[in-house]
Structure formats: structure tokens, C-alpha cells
Structure 1
Amino acid sequence: MEEVIIVGAGPCGLAAAIELKKVGVNPLLIEKGALVNSIYRYPTYMIFHSTPELLEIGEIPFTTANEKPTRQEALAYYRLVAQRHQLRINSYEEVVEIRPHGSHFQVRSKDRFGKEREYETVRVIIATGYFDHPNRLHIPGEEMPKVFSFYQEAHPFTGQKVAIVGGNNSAVDAALDLERAGAEVTVINRRPELSPYVKAWTRPVFESMVNKGRIRMLYSSRLLRIEERHIVVDVAGEVQTLENDFVFTLIGYRPDRTFLHALGVTVEEETGIPCHDPETMQTNVPGVYIAGVIAAGHHANAIFIENGRFHGRLIAAHVAKSRAH
């Protein structure tokens, strides 16, 4: 019998595990991918918005020679944290079901070879993030192999006509990276302007590329259809057909609430926020906690590593108090 199982080994799941170890609980983390899988799937050369101290967990300093840390530095940092704190992590094992069983919970998982495992636990923490579940456009052609919901790096797209749907940081960063690699880039944004959240040091560079004609920017526009060699776009009410080789739909992500619904956790329909006590992070189902961006509901930008890393402290304090009784 496990005392606590944490579903997800991202930064917020790791932070929760560390805080629990401080109060005498050694939780098991089950992660369907690699350690901090969401960061691993970030663009290869991505630079964080945050300064390193805002990404620190487990009282281990995050050092970097730069003002903002890179993806590679973050991966190295979180590997170090997991090793130093000797966290129990089952990687490449996907939790497929969590169900109540008397006074505890049964957790069923499947490893990458299809072998099933079952665990029993007194408490469960859902720290699954949202990066694995991209938002969809729901348009014809979206399932074609030329369409991607994640951006990794520019090299494969040299000399190609690439369309990017979105107007936030991920779209802007990808557009600049692709343009530098020699892609012909078109950005399709449904808004009449860029998102106000675009990084201050990136915005002027992007706008300069647009003004120089090196990136085509289509505001107040919607992608209507994707074909093999072209796309159809509504540009401010005018339908245009553009030659195209690849499409990136970088329009954000949504949390997966499958486990919460199955466990009977109430989710507020309007906000998408699971019912929980913000002082303890326990949901309306005793013994079920949430940590990280899953607590943000529809507004994923409300919770990042910077504030989600503190959820574990609240959970650990509540678990310690419950154990004392």
C-alpha cells in the first residue's frame, strides 16, 4: 500500500514529492513519458520567460550564466533535483484508471510494453499538466501528416512554405526560428493584434521581420481548410488560397480531467476549475489532490511553474496534519 501516488513527474509533481518527503512520506510518482516530459517537448532552443530562481524547487539553486535559462539547462536542473532528493519515479508508465476502493484508491497503469500494474494508495495527487492535449481547430485537413500541434526545431522546414496558426509566444518564437532557417513563414492570427503576453524582448524583433516582409502576418484571420499543397484562409472576411507545405497549430493546450471526473471531483463548468480548497489543494473528494496547471481550469496561463511549485507545500502540510489525527 502506497501512502501517496503522484500522477505526473513535471516540476509541480516533483515539488509535491519533495515537500511530502519532508513530512515523512515517500510518494511514488508515475509519469507516462520522460522526467519533466512537458519541458522535454518544448522547442529545442527555447528560452524561458522566467528567471532561474522562479523555477527552483527542493531548495536546490538553479544556476545559469544567462539572464533567462534555456530548455537544456532546465532539463539538467530537474534531473539533478530528482537525483538529489532520491525521488521514486516510474517513467514511461501511463496511469489509465484511478478508482475509489473503500477507504483508499486503486491505480491501474500500463508500461510502454503494454504490461499492466495495479497499486493501492491512501491518497492521490493529480499533477498531469496540460501540454499533451493541444487545442484543436476542428477544420477539414487538420489530421493530415503535414500538420503539427507541437514545434520542435526549424531545420526540417528549410525552403518550405510554413503556416503557423496563433498569436502568442509559441507562435512568435516558432515564426522567428523558422524564418532564420530559411522557411517562408505565414502567421495566421484570429485577433487583430498579437497577444499582450508576447515577451517584451521578442515582440519588436517579430514586428520588424513582419515590417520587412520576411514574415507574412495575417491578422483577424481564420484557417478554414488544409489541403495537400495549399491552405484556405479567411483574411478579414476575404477568402484566400495560399500555397503551403506544412502547418503548425500553436493555439494552446487544455488539461485532461479524465481522472478527476472518474473519481467524482466536481469541475466548475464556466471556469473549468476543479472544486478544491486553495489552502490544501484537496478536492471535494477526500484524499484526492491537484497540483500545478490542472488547478487553473480553462485559463492555463494563470498557473506556471513559478506558482504551481508551491502547491506541494500546501498538500504536504495537510497530509501531515491528517496523519497526526
Structure 2
Amino acid sequence: MSKGNMMLDAVNDFESEKTRAAAWFRELRDRIVAEFHALEDRHGGDNPAGRVEVTKTKRTSDDGSDAGGGEMNVMRGGRVFEKVGVNISTVYGTLGERAQNAMAARKGIPGMKDDPRFWASGISLVAHMQNPHAPAVHMNTRMFWTPHAWWFGGGSDLNPCIEYAEDTQHFHDEMKAACDPHGDTLYSELKEWADEYFYIPHRHRARGVGGIFYDDRNTGDWEADFKLTRDVGTAFLPAFVPLVDKRRDMEWGEKEKDIQLEHRGLYAEYNLVYDRGTKFGLETGHDANAVLMSLPPVAKWY
């Protein structure tokens, strides 16, 4: 990525692009929630718990002024999903000193102290399943803007506690299909990035079977980068839903549930210790319940 291509005219607020990105994340949320409701209906029948509850979230700046917010869409106690959250948010304001320094150091963005305004919008999804044979999954895509730069980030990764090679292959095939129109080597690059990003150093293992991940993406072509982000989001349902349909009704017992709960401990450790999104959300004052939505409802450590 060229840092020269990343720098923008400070007067260009990208209002049209921001509006389009935020609208897409909301549209994708609506598609996913509708399909998750359909999954519950296919496998659970009439179950009042098999519907998401919508809660508005709000971010307040240090001076008490409005700084955006979003919506938590969480289902608890469904017959398919033990807990699933599909959050959207659009937040803005000024970055604190620690966040400014992190942006300047990691992304190479100059001028943060002179004008630390930011805008960010995205969708974040984590699903924890009732049946241990059905894999947990994560998906996130986002756009970030400052007066000095813009970029996209996100990806999707599969987190089965009981691994099936054919499920892993299917998931990666769908991720590759989303990436291939954007470059012959892009899938392998984003897969490698995910393998590195979702690694748990203190456990010496990955938290799942991987997927794709990207951050700081600014090729200089906003339309192309936005198209990749839409394609990654669109690929999520065909990558995940067939796996749930296949595994949802498999028999399981206490042994399988123990395996699931122990694996969830890995997920919780990663998100609380290493995940940059969790750290950024808490650092910038976003609703803590929304930031920590990804944590499993129950986990186990030995």
C-alpha cells in the first residue's frame, strides 16, 4: 500500500462515501438478521427466543456531546444460536492522545495532533452455537476516515470447536471466491494475515481454522476498496449458513459440550487480550456492552 496514495486533501470530508458505506453496513445487517431468523425457523420452529433483540447504543464524547452510536442486534437462547450478535455503528468525534499516537505509529498518518477528527462505521458479527458440532464464526467490516486518510478493514474467520475438514474447505472456498476478482494473490495474502492476526501467543495456537483479514486498506481507489469490502460481507452467508444447516441436528452430549466450552475460553482470551477492535472500542468510549458483545455466553477454563 502506498502511503502517498493514502493521504487526502484535508478539506475533503468524503461525505458521499461515508453515507454509502454506512448504508451498506446497515443493509448487510438486515440481510444477515433475516437469514438467521430463517435458520431458527427451519430448525427450531416457533420459538420466541429465536429472534434478535434490538438495542440502541450511544457514544458520548469527552465533553458530553453526541458522538454517534449504533444498534446491537442480539439473540440469546435460540434453538440454533445460543448467542449471536450483529452490531452496526457509526461513530465520530476526536481521537484522544493515546489513540492519535496509535494511529500515527501503526498507520503512518501525519497531522493527527493538528486535526484528530475521525469517523468510523462498520458491522461486527459473532455467533456462538447451541450444538457443539456447528462452528462459531466471526465477521467484521468497517470504514475509517480522518481528515488525513481513509481505509477499510475486516474479514471473516471460522471457529469450530469440533473441526470438520470439509467445513473448513467450504468456508475458505467462499472467502477465496470473494477475493479473486480483486487480485490473483489477494486471497492468499489475506488468509496469511488472518492466520497471523488470530493467533494466540500464550496458547501457541490459532483460535480457529482461519479465514481472511485485512486492515489499513487504501489502494488509492475508494470504489475498488469499497467493492472488496462489500464482496467480503456478501460472502459471509453462503460461507456459513450451509455449515449450520449440515451440523445443527447432529447428536451431542456432555463430552462435546465440554469441548465447546473450553474452546470458547480461547475465544474470550483472544478478544480480551489481543483484539485491536476491542481495545479501540473501549479506548474511544463506545458502548462497552456493544464492544464486548463478542464474548461467549458461557465458557470454561481448566
- The verdict on a shared fold, with TM-score over 0.5 as the criterion, is no
Scaled by the length of structure 1, the TM-score of the pair is: 0.25
- Which has the larger Rg? 1
Structure number with higher helix proportion? 2
Scaled by the length of structure 2, the TM-score of the pair is: 0.26
